[in-house]
Structure 1
Amino acid sequence: MPACRTSSRTGAGREVPDIEARIDRAADLLPESALWLPEPVSFPAAPRPAAPPPSLAGRRIAVARDEAFGFIYPANLAFLESAGARLSFFSPLRDTALPECDALWLPGGYPELHLCALTANRTMIGAIREHFLAERPILAECGGMLYACERLEDASGTSAPMLGLLPAQARMQPRLAALGMQEAELGGHAVRGHTFHYSMLETGLEPAALARTPDGRKGERIFRQGSLTASYMHFYFPSAPELIAALFG
């Protein structure tokens, strides 16, 4: 395998480095008629969802958040706090230890753009493995799941070892692999969410559940490995309060 090297791209939101110039060029090509807008339409405010029961009261949840892990629904953070959880944020790229926590959330992002930094941070890898071996809950979604794999290969063929919690290898593809809304049943609870990824994951591990698309097609696999729950599916926490309480509880 090629040696790990620094990616020329630097993280979430910058995977298209000239995005502003592209938008400006597209705007310059628009005809004057494209500037016309219809009259505004008023919509009634959506009812606010009921506050979840305090099922996570006192639970300390550490959330990965940096350039490599930045895809987080604000509604999910609000849900966890409303359920009584205490959130702490940390960087798998730069921090050397986890915050004091009872559970860990590795959300989506772009770990493939930061292979060298992630694999070089051995103290953080050790801390997360120790958390896993202590059988404390971990939820790993999409990019978080790639980080939980044994190895991850980026689009250029560079491969690097990751956390090794999930007996799987993943590699980036030049084409979109999956996109859209999905729903799954896990532990007797229905949960909704969506998927968006370019990578493919190879594993001999049997999934604990299989999501479905709105038109009934097979969706993403959901894996359970010890205290780890992992999937390409990004869960929308308010859609399954009891399941999320069980995953982090």
Structure 2
Amino acid sequence: MTDIITGQAPAALITAPGSGQGKSIVTAALARLHRNAGRKVRVFKHGPDYLDPMVLEVASGQPVYQLHPWMTGEAECHWRLAEAARDADLVLVEGAMGLFDGDPSSADLAALAGLPVLPVIDARGMAQTFGAVALGLASFRPDVKIGQVIANRIGSPRHGEMLAASLPDGIELLGAIPRDEAMAIPDRHLGLVQASELAHLDQQLDAAAAVLAKAGLDRLPATVTLTAEHPAPPTRLLDGVRIGIARDAAFAFIYRANVDLLEAQGATLTYFSPLSDAQLPEVDALWLPGGYPELHAATLAANTSMMASIRAFHHAGKPILAECGGLMACASELVDRDGQPHPMLGLLAGRAIMEGRLQGLGLQSLRADEGELRGHTYHHSRLETELPPLACTRKLAGTEAEPVFHAGSLTATYFHGYFPSAPALVAALFRGQPLTAY
């Protein structure tokens, strides 16, 4: 008999007309506001973003997972939301880009899951046009339900009153947020600064929550009922396999769902720091995930004992998976944003060179006999190499497909994979089994 999950909780998908409107900090501040009120808050992020979930986890005190009808699959979206609604007092989903941007868009996720949509609209330099923007968002698709909006960055209480008066029948102003230093989180070339690097993030989130409370945003959204089938447990394809995972300020782009899958498949996980540890732990396979090696290249290069330990691991023929930042660390050399070269591991003959603009962006997948690994690419560096790729990913949207390189026991690519989309393929990678990709 199929195990059906049913949950009921106030829920909303926080979105905006476009990027830069403030939805990330508003979502985080809402989570902290209701957490401080004694509620259990579960937050999700639409799309493949790594950085926003780090802040959202600090804000909510709960794990944050990605939801994406294509990357994670529709069934997983339903399951995670229903499970959260059964467990929490409030469920929030932070959208990606603008409400209707992308395929699948945040609107697609809201329609799929039956979530009410709550747009955050930057109201700077805007009066009655605010109502037109809200009306356009609400009427663009009949399967997307918008009954409330949030005005952000208002100039005065009078400004907020004008915005409220501009709204058409059927749409109310949930709150008007004034401009405030607490409502800004610094960013860099890949997005928000990592939560672990923000020394006073907790205090800032409390301050942002107080700003929202004064703006009237302490009300709960509408209650929804969410139902889904509970997925079958994965096959234990990694029983007895010890996997070392690089995790520090240089390597931190790790989906929680990826870690969950490896553990559910039977793997034992050990974390280590290429920046500060002297050598690898006793493991059978390595995962070097994405992150910011370009910001720490000098420190990585100076940690010669760790570099030697990873090279010895590779020389012994043990499997290594390197994604994006991990690929950069495996190159012979990394040229940082200042044009300064740094020696790297040299497992992949070539140079990783930082550029001033995006070199790769979009949803992609890697197909092999073991399944289709779905994910994305997003990077500002390029790899100069004469090595032929083992295979190339397939592009769903965005820039060109990414090559996947195989050098001895190393598999390296700029592509970030969402492991639960292809459990057998992932297990084969960490077992060092030959991969037939196409």
TM class, shorter-length: 0.7 to 0.9
Length, aligned pairs only: 236
Where do 1:1-249 residues align within 5 Å?
A: 12-13=194-195, 40=222, 42=224, 44-215=226-397, 218-249=400-431
Post-superposition shift, 1:209? 1.1
2: CA distance between counterparts of 1:60 and 1:105?
Answer: 11
Q: What amino acid maps onto 2:392 in structure 1? A: L
TM value normalised by structure 1:
0.83
Q: Which runs of 4+ in 1 moved over 6 A?
A: 14-17
2: CA distance between counterparts of 1:12 and 1:142?
Answer: 17
TM value normalised by structure 2:
0.49
1: CA distance between counterparts of 2:235 and 2:385?
Answer: 37
Post-superposition shift, 1:57? 0.3
Gaps of 5+ in 1: 1-10, 24-32
The SS at the match of 1:88 is strand
Question: C-alpha root-mean-square deviation of aligned residues, in Å?
Answer: 3.0
Gaps of 5+ in 2: 1-192, 206-214, 432-438
Partner of 1:26: none
For residues 106-158 of structure 1, give each alpha carbon's deviation from its aligned partner in whole angstroms, at most 9, with x where no partner exists: 00000000011100000000000000000000000000000000000111111
Q: What amino acid maps onto 1:142 in structure 2? A: C
Q: What amino acid maps onto 1:234 in structure 2? A: H
Q: Which moved more, 1:147-156 or 1:181-190?
A: 181-190
The SS at the match of 1:194 is strand
Q: Is the 8 A contact 1:176 1:198 kept in 2?
A: yes
Q: Is the 8 A contact 1:186 1:209 kept in 2?
A: no
Post-superposition shift, 1:187? 4.9
Residues 197 and 96 of structure 1, relative CA distance in 2, 3 Å threshold:
same
Partner of 2:81: none
Q: Is the 8 A contact 1:12 1:110 kept in 2?
A: no
Partner of 1:28: none
Q: Which moved more, 1:169-178 or 1:113-122?
A: 169-178
- Greater helix fraction, Structure 1 or Structure 2: 2
For residues 225-247 of structure 1, give each alpha carbon's deviation from its aligned partner in whole angstroms, at most 9, with x where no partner exists: 11000000111111111111111
Q: Is the 8 A contact 1:195 1:232 kept in 2?
A: yes
1: CA distance between counterparts of 2:287 and 2:253?
Answer: 12
Q: Is the 8 A contact 2:361 2:398 kept in 1?
A: no
Q: Which has the higher contact order (CA 8 A, sep 6+)?
A: 1
Q: Percent identity?
A: 49
2: CA distance between counterparts of 1:216 and 1:120?
Answer: 36
Q: What amino acid maps onto 1:156 in structure 2? A: D
For residues 14-52 of structure 1, give each alpha carbon's deviation from its aligned partner in whole angstroms, at most 9, with x where no partner exists: 8999x99xx9xxxxxxxxx9x7x9963636255443321
